[in-house]
Structure 1
């Protein structure tokens, strides 16, 4: 059997094949972040036939202060749950599983988006946006941890199969992880264990809210690819801590570099990161990044670079990509 078609069952979240549609912002929600007909139609189209084992819903803001952009999906209030149930039901009816990605943008947002001054771990310019945020107090950090937990509980109430915590692409948790943006002198800064304390606190709070059986994924920006930024050695150590804390799947992408690597257009350009992380953890690892060909996905899996393959832009451009890939490999 092809590697891409092989089920993965050694996990709380079981997969009928190794193909994942990673989160991609669509800007299709209502202005207040509620589910729109456009969102429902989009995910209905992408999940037709159940060829994609897991669909990760685009990043959704846990609080107004953490909203990254206009028409971003919301998981910030209880009144969004009923509409999100409809979204989960459509994807399930088509035969795929689905989890929601929950996020706080931190210093990667603007006052004209949120109505609030941007916040971050330290009052240091965001390397991607140049925004200098207000430094979060410990009491404010505690509120954000609670907001992640409440968002995860709403995700469960809406009938999703799990929740993904977003710590990549220069958003708030990535800002804590990266030494470029975290210069704190308290327990949430300094060495690696300080910089990931907020992650560990969130994982615990989420588990307390949703229970031990609800799968937790974490998207990790495993390298900033910038001088003085986070490195794969940081991420290997962090990945071990996240596994110990109860994360069930690690979804690997870039840090402040975003979801690309300058000058690298290979199929699976984050594969050196996933391969290194797979060496230290026993939980499944998702590789996304420039994968547009089924045979490339097959090769990356066969070489042990990852356990699951995320195909983003190719599926965004062609809703039949997954069906064609699977039929080619049968």
Structure 2
């Protein structure tokens, strides 16, 4: 058996293989509510043969949405809408489902990517005032965000908890806390965006404080059957910013507090970032962090070929691999990877008859 198609435990959750479909925003919700697009999109991915499907960044409060069309899980209406989608997906697929809970902070109130992606003014019908640890906007020409005081911060922690409770009620197997890509928790981590002088800024322990508080509160709020982990940008790719050394320190703290996995990405915090993009360009970050902890580490970023994914696992650079755009382009990537590596997948019975001629034992009936 290949490493890619071997099982992996993320705390209480055992995955049938090590292919993860990471969160990918769809910008297609209505006032935070999931709809038919999500049922179709997620239903398709849930037939892929991957080991885990994590739903897109889901806002814990309305002002925490990246765009006006982002998915949310902050009230009964958003929970009920998502319940319909989850029920539909689970009816036809046993794939483990996770959800990423996040808050966009100063990167909120944005247009959808295909509409330019820039920040929408607060006085626009589809915009709102954004918040951050410090009065520094993401784009230099945007208004300064509102600075969160300690009461606001406590409210955001409570919002993460409330969404996590809703997520467990919906039957999700895993919760990923979004601490990456320049969104609010990452904004507190990085000295480039956090110039606070109180207990949430300055020293590394202070800058870690909010993410650790959110993790602790979520872990306490949900049952032990739920895997809880963190997605992390390991580097800002800007001198003087958040980096892999600080990421290693955070990883060790989270592990000591019961974190079940880390999902290691990078960047998204500062427009000055200069990224050396290439195949597997973020894998060295995952490898460095994996060397410091025992909990599973997921690598992501231009992992596109089955042999590449297998090599990452065999060389102990990560415990699982996540494919985003590659999976959108080819939602049967795991089937093709199994064929390439001489392994097998378990499709829905409706698809058994499409097993390619000349490929032996690719499909295993349920």
Kept after mapping to 2: 8 A contact 1:65/1:115: no
| Counterpart pick for 1:63 among 50, 61, 64 | 61
| Counterpart pick for 1:255 among 247, 252, 267 | 267
Q: Which of these two proteins has the greater Rg computed from alpha carbons?
A: 2
Aligned equivalents of 1:201, 1:70: Cα separation in 2: 27
Aligned to 1:20: 20
| Counterpart pick for 2:188 among 176, 182, 186 | 176
Aligned residues: 326
Aligned to 1:87: 85
Determine if the alignment matches structure 1 residue 218 to structure 2 residue 263.
no
- Residues 10-39 of structure 1: CA distance to partner in whole angstroms, max 9, x if unpaired? 63221110000011111222x212111111
- Displacement of 1:323: 1.5
- SS of 2:13 mapped into structure 1: coil
- Displacement of 1:88: 2.7
Aligned equivalents of 1:128, 1:113: Cα separation in 2: 23
Aligned to 1:281: 293
Structure 1's 113 and 54: CA in aligned 2 closer, same or farther, altered over 3 A?
farther
Structure 1's 28 and 213: CA in aligned 2 closer, same or farther, altered over 3 A?
same
Q: Which moved more, 1:113-122 or 1:9-18?
A: 113-122
- Residues 112-153 of structure 1: CA distance to partner in whole angstroms, max 9, x if unpaired? 477532110111232688552111100000000000000111
- Residues 156-212 of structure 1: CA distance to partner in whole angstroms, max 9, x if unpaired? 111110111101111000000011000111111111110011111111211222133
| Counterpart pick for 1:197 among 209, 217, 238 | 209
Aligned to 1:301: 313
Aligned to 1:96: 95
Structure 1's 193 and 307: CA in aligned 2 closer, same or farther, altered over 3 A?
same
Q: Which runs of 5+ in 1 are unaligned?
A: none
Q: Which runs of 5+ in 2 are unaligned?
A: 110-121, 344-366
RMSD across aligned positions (CA): 1.9
TM-score w.r.t. length of structure 2? 0.84
Aligned to 1:133: 145
Kept after mapping to 2: 8 A contact 1:20/1:309: yes
Aligned equivalents of 1:256, 1:7: Cα separation in 2: 31
- Displacement of 1:269: 1.0
- SS of 1:48 mapped into structure 2: coil
Aligned to 2:347: none
- SS of 2:101 mapped into structure 1: strand
- SS of 1:60 mapped into structure 2: strand
Kept after mapping to 2: 8 A contact 1:123/1:135: yes
Aligned equivalents of 1:159, 1:129: Cα separation in 2: 42
User: Which residues in structure 2 correspond to 1:16-165 (within 5 Å)?
Assistant: 16-29=16-29, 31-48=30-47, 51-92=49-90, 93-110=92-109, 111=122, 112=124, 115-126=127-138, 132-165=144-177
TM-score w.r.t. length of structure 1? 0.93
- Displacement of 1:306: 0.5
- SS of 2:335 mapped into structure 1: helix
Determine if the alignment matches structure 1 residue 8 to structure 2 residue 8.
yes
Aligned equivalents of 2:102, 2:140: Cα separation in 1: 17
Aligned equivalents of 2:131, 2:140: Cα separation in 1: 15
